[in-house]
A = this chain, B = another copy of it.
């Protein structure tokens, strides 16, 4: 087995966005020992010996429809407090290397190519990257802006990229609420390719909280009457989600977490406001009215203030490593053990964070066992 020495490709849809830039810069910073791996679950002791690709072995590329090059984007993020001040300069070579592997996404307005043409072109981009980079495998990860809820039978862009991943034989991770592989016309193809995939919609802030608070209410037999929330965010994400159709996609995931952990649907809306003045920082306020003993009213409010890109990036690195290793280990289909990372997980796993964490550790154990078997087989084969 040579997975430690081999390189692993990470192909990012939305490769010049805040999340992707933070992923590339952060991976380089950790590899260089500039920062501790805060927020990366796969760097905790539980994952020792599971055969995950090393951070230093990851090679980045991707698609995007915007032009601002990665090193410049990284400078902007540092100015906005998302990246540490000196980091873009310290990892400029790695940013430039990833920038060279970014290809034009689409379709942009005026593009007359058919869906089939686009999938073919995207798959060719991914295969060419894999060849050039000499990677053992490439994981495709969607970190692009949320697209409006798909209507009709046409494949939305996120599904074109997902189809390209299948065609290129790549495991796929959907970190956004966009449709991706969840389109009915892709179901048969996904099954036929026998590739592992994971998603949907990374759980980074307000929904992460909801996935531990929901079970608390349920376990304590407290009756939630109303759960209301408001999210304020600037950056591109705020503008994208100001589109009601995109917000609807996002909110469906948030509400699923509540419904699944509380076992019922409760009153309350979720607002997503575009507030450019907040830049890449997000504030999420939740107000939960619930009943205690004899119907006495109790109120819990939470306020979460952070940078979404910085919360998302370590999870993206975790997911790329875990999905690559799952592929290597021969796992196929929906990776339900990765529900820990998602608002709306594929497969049929638990919805509370602690149970999801237990499932993730179970996957780690299985991967570790396979690594040990492989090592034993390797040793046995040697003269």
Contacts and interface: CB of A to CB of B under 8 A. Distances in A.
Interface of A: 22, 26, 29, 35-41, 43-44, 79, 81-85, 87, 208-209, 212-213, 215-216, 219-223, 225-226, 228, 230, 232, 267-269, 271, 273, 275-278, 283, 285, 287, 289, 291-307, 310-311, 313-314, 340, 352-355, 357
Contacts of A306: 292, 296-299
A41 B222 CA distance: 9
A260 to B, nearest CB: 15
Contacts of A293: 22, 26, 38-40, 310-311, 313-314
Contacts of A82: 296
A38, A83, A232 interface centre (most CB from chain B within 10 Å): A38
Contacts of A297: 306
A311 B294 CA distance: 10
A292 B273 contact: no
A292 B38 contact: yes
Q: Ordered nearest first, which 6 A-B pairs have the shortest CB separation?
A: A354-B354, A298-B306, A225-B277, A296-B310, A226-B277, A39-B293
Nearest to A315: B220
Determine how many copies of this chain the complex contains.
4
Nearest to A37: B221
Contact of A353 (B209, B219, B225, B277): B219
A294 B353 contact: no
Contact of A226 (B39, B44, B275, B291): B275
B354 A285 contact: no
A223 B38 contact: yes
Given A268-B273, A276-B267, A311-B293, A41 B287 contact: no
26 contacts: A26-B293, A35-B294, A38-B223, A38-B293, A39-B221, A81-B296, A87-B294, A209-B216, A215-B354, A219-B354, A225-B277, A226-B275, A228-B273, A228-B275, A232-B287, A267-B276, A267-B277, A268-B273, A278-B289, A283-B299, A285-B285, A293-B313, A296-B310, A301-B302, A352-B354, A354-B355
A361 to B, nearest CB: 9
A79 B81 CA distance: 11
Contacts of A298: 304-307, 310-311
Contacts of A313: 293
A266 to B, nearest CB: 8
Nearest to A277: B225
Contacts of A226: 232, 275-278
A32 to B, nearest CB: 12
A294 B354 contact: no
Nearest to A294: B35
B271 A353 contact: no
Contacts of A232: 226, 228, 287
A26 to B, nearest CB: 6
B267 A40 contact: no
A232 B255 CA distance: 18
Contacts of A84: 294-295
A289 B238 CA distance: 16
A19 to B, nearest CB: 11
B39 A222 contact: yes
Contacts of A228: 230, 232, 273, 275
Nearest to A341: B220
Contact of A294 (B26, B267, B275): B26
